[in-house]
Copies of this chain bind each other. A is one copy, B any other.
Amino acid sequence: MNKHIVGIDWGTSNRRAYLIDQSGACLAEHEDGQGMLAVGGRDKFGASLAGLLAAMQLPHDVPVILSGMVGSASGWQEVAYLDAAVPLVQLPQHLAAVTDPAWAGRCRIVPGYVYRAGAAADVMRGEETQLLGAIALGRRDGWIVLPGTHSKWVLLRDGVIQSFATYMTGELFAMLSAGGTLAAMMDGDSSDAEGFAIGLQQAARNEPLSNSLFRVRAGVVSRTAPAQLAAATVSGLLIGAEFAAARGAGQGITVIGSAALAARYDSAARHFGLPCTVLDPHQVYCSALSQFIQQA
């Protein structure tokens, strides 16, 4: 009999579910806005999951793999972070069983990772699953970039995390657009090539962001720069800061992201002279799921 599992990337604001078979083929996909915040409390995750399976017309006993913020202290069940030294291919051996009696035995949560460098720490939840998928697709070495609200830059060596850094790129862009000094001038196209390139150039100079951001405003009020470039310039400043900080990325980067975001990172990579390969996040996620199917 062909075995199936459902994998759910259950984040803060959204969740996305994939049904795969033993060959790793994706048979069905479902996305909705029932992220961690919308579920409304720890004791509501079980019912929310049952609703998702029903919406996908799946049997109640299909094995389920969960990744993302669902495993955080504000999620269904807190799962301890793995240390970065644990090879990603060992993730299937570290799944945490959901203790809710209604789901025990057929629902497991993928642990996130913590990376410690001196007194500082960085964390991920959800991206480790994408990394496992990238490794399954042959990307065992070099920089993997997962752009978004909290962009991750992960350096892999032989399938093991050497280091990673998170940038609040998407969150800061949203905050600056929503209110404050810059918001009124940020209604232009944030992907405008000219404005984006201006931001990338400024980011390469490694000046403090709090200064570069104000200069976007100063450029507009002093009639030095047109207001319609401001949003793209801010995007370039934030994304450019990621590239400026990536040391030793001369070998190139692999970006796992939606078409729109990946295009923007590809453009930034060209600006910084880095070869860039793009992987489709759905394909990567399904590749990761196929690594879990024996454990599920």
Contact = CB atoms under 8 A, between A and B. Distances in A.
B72 A214 contact: no
Contacts of A119: 198, 224-225
A60 interface: no
B214 A167 contact: yes
B211 A209 contact: no
A222 B168 contact: no
A215 B120 contact: yes
A272 interface: no
Copy count, this protein chain: 2
A221 interface: yes
A120 B202 contact: yes
A211 B179 contact: no
Interface residues of A, number: 45
Among A116, A215, A244, max chain B CB count under 10 A is at A215
A280 interface: no
A59 interface: no
Interface stretch (A37-45, A129-137, A169-177, A249-257): A169-177
Interface in A199-252: 202, 206-211, 213-215, 218-219, 221-222, 224-225, 238, 241-242, 244-245
Contact of A209 (B116, B198, B210, B215): B210
A122 B245 CA distance: 25
Nearest to A119: B224
B175 A218 contact: no
A241 B210 contact: yes
A179 B168 contact: no
A121 interface: yes
A97 interface: no
Interface of A: 72-73, 81, 114, 116, 119-123, 150, 165-169, 171-172, 175-176, 179-181, 198, 202, 206-211, 213-215, 218-219, 221-222, 224-225, 238, 241-242, 244-245
7 contacts: A119-B198, A121-B219, A123-B221, A167-B210, A167-B214, A172-B213, A206-B206
